[in-house]
A and B are shown apart, each in its own frame.
Chain A
Amino acid sequence: MTDVSNPLTQRLEGPAPVMEVAKDLIRRTALVAPVLIVIGAIFWQSAGAASVAYAIAIVMVNFLLAASLLAWAGRISFAAMGGAAMFGFLLRLGLIFLAVLLVKDAGWVEMLPLGLTLIVAHLGILFWEMRYISGTLAHPGLKPTAKLPIHTSSSESNHETTGAA
């Protein structure tokens, strides 16, 4: 029998890293959103563009909701976080179903671009983020820092500026 600490009594202290990941995912989604919307507009005209935009919004909300649930439950206990991940999965699938059900008969909705964007945006952004996170975990020394010292030639003094993530 292995000695495992009780996950019911332990919790995650401090800022939740999943929220940072979720914000990064949303930032990346916002970056590719115009390209996807233009592709939707080319193949399905205005209805396609609107459907792609709606699907992108669903993907963003889904990521944010998943991270928020995990972060919130992680502050209660690890076991609660496990429960939140499982029931959150059901909840979010239900919400996505509801979001599509509400607009299925709307004139501005095309189901094919909406469905394709749901899959492509979700998987594409995840693979993009995974490359970044894998790199950070494999080479922690290369992780961008919040503050970078910059030497200016005019004053020869150190200034601190915000580094790009």
Chain B
Amino acid sequence: MSIAVLAAEALTGDEVKAAAAAEGAGFAYGLAAIGPGIGIGYLVGQAVQAMARQPESAGQVQTTMFLGVAFTEALALIGFVVFILLKFA
């Protein structure tokens, strides 16, 4: 049984709303971090493999990898911003 349902039984009004917001914020941040985590792991794994195969192009691969990591991380940042808006705003 979710926190929101439990809260609805005992509490009313603003407290239920706050509990639901807290639950939603937690899910938003947690779920939003999973996808980028998998993405960065795959990206970095492939980049390390590419650098090991062709060390002479390691600089280019590292640059591309850095941008890829930063772009993937933006997804987690979006989840984080949703979290702070739900929880703190």
Contact = CB atoms under 8 A, between A and B. Distances in A.
A82 B44 contact: yes
Contacts, number: 117
Interface in B14-63: 33, 36-37, 40-41, 44-45, 47-49, 51-53, 55, 58-60, 62-63
Given A18-B62, A82-B44, A97-B80, A89 B67 contact: no
Nearest to B37: A89
Interface of A is mostly: helix
A78 B67 contact: no
Interface stretch (A39-47, A121-129, A145-153, A156-164): A121-129
Interface in A64-119: 66-67, 70, 74, 78-79, 81-82, 85-86, 89, 92-93, 96-97, 100, 104, 111-112, 114-116, 118-119
A4 B52 contact: yes
Contacts of B89: 111-112, 115
A85 B44 contact: yes
A89 B69 contact: yes
B63 A18 contact: yes
A111 B40 contact: no
Contacts of B84: 100, 104, 111, 114-115
Contacts of A54: none
Contacts of B52: 4-7, 10, 78
B73 A82 contact: no
A104 B87 CA distance: 10
A14 B47 CA distance: 18
B8 interface: no
Contacts of B45: 82
A7 B71 CA distance: 24
Given A79-B48, A85-B44, A115 B81 contact: yes
B55 A10 contact: yes
Interface of B: 33, 36-37, 40-41, 44-45, 47-49, 51-53, 55, 58-60, 62-67, 69-71, 73-74, 76-78, 80-81, 84-85, 88-89
Given A7-B51, A93-B80, A97-B80, 8 more contacts: A18-B62, A66-B69, A66-B70, A81-B62, A93-B33, A119-B74, A119-B78, A123-B71
